[in-house]
Every structure is written in C-alpha cells, then in structure tokens.
A = this chain, B = another copy of it.
Amino acid sequence: MKLGKVIGTVVASHKDGKMSGFKFLLLQDMAPDGSLMDSTLVAVDTVGAGPDEIVLYTTGSSSRYTATTHDIPVDNTIVAIVDSIEVGSKCMYDKAAKNG
C-alpha cells in the first residue's frame, strides 16, 4: 500500500456501469515524513475519507478485494484512513494531535 493525501475529486457521470455509486478521489502520493510527491492518481473510496485526510491505498488487482469493490474495474482503492505514522521512534504524523 502507499500513503496518499486526499486533494480533490473527479466527477464522471458517463462511466462503466459497475462504477456507479463510487466516489472518485484525487490522491497525491506522500512520503512518511509528510512531504508530498509529484505523482497523483484517482482512487475509489471505500472508507469515507474526507478532504486533506491521509489514507492508505491499494493498487492493482487487490483493489478489487475490499468489501465493496468485488469485480469492479478499479485499480486504486482507499483501504484505510491513517491515524499515525511513526518512523524509528519518532512520530511523523498524528491525526488526533493535528485535529485536537
């Protein structure tokens, strides 16, 4: 999985039928230290991620193995909302602290 930040949304009314009901979120890849990378991608959201949240997303065929994406033509799926990131013994990100 990779770390990403939710930076926006993509709306598409004309799409493959199996894509109906899914929300497309724009993610920007993020390093563990919180710095954002140049690369972006579009993922379907299965966990209710909101703007600016840090998430974990799965790529490839495993994107179809969440509770709601079985047999759907998706290749990036958000599978978790990140609470905290620790590198060595140092906390790099803490959602509660940020929102507190």
Contact = CB atoms under 8 A, between A and B. Distances in A.
Interface of A: 1-3, 7-19, 24, 26, 31-32, 40-43, 46-48, 51, 56, 58-67, 69, 71-77, 79-88, 92
The 3 closest A-B pairs by CB, nearest first: A15-B80, A12-B80, A8-B87
Number of copies: 5
A23 B11 CA distance: 24
Contacts of A17: 67
Nearest to A91: B8
A1 B42 contact: yes
A7 B88 contact: yes
Nearest to A82: B12
A78 to B, nearest CB: 9
Nearest to A7: B87
Contact of A26 (B62, B71, B85): B85
Contacts of A64: 62, 65, 73
Given A26-B32, A42-B56, A87-B8, A1 B74 contact: yes
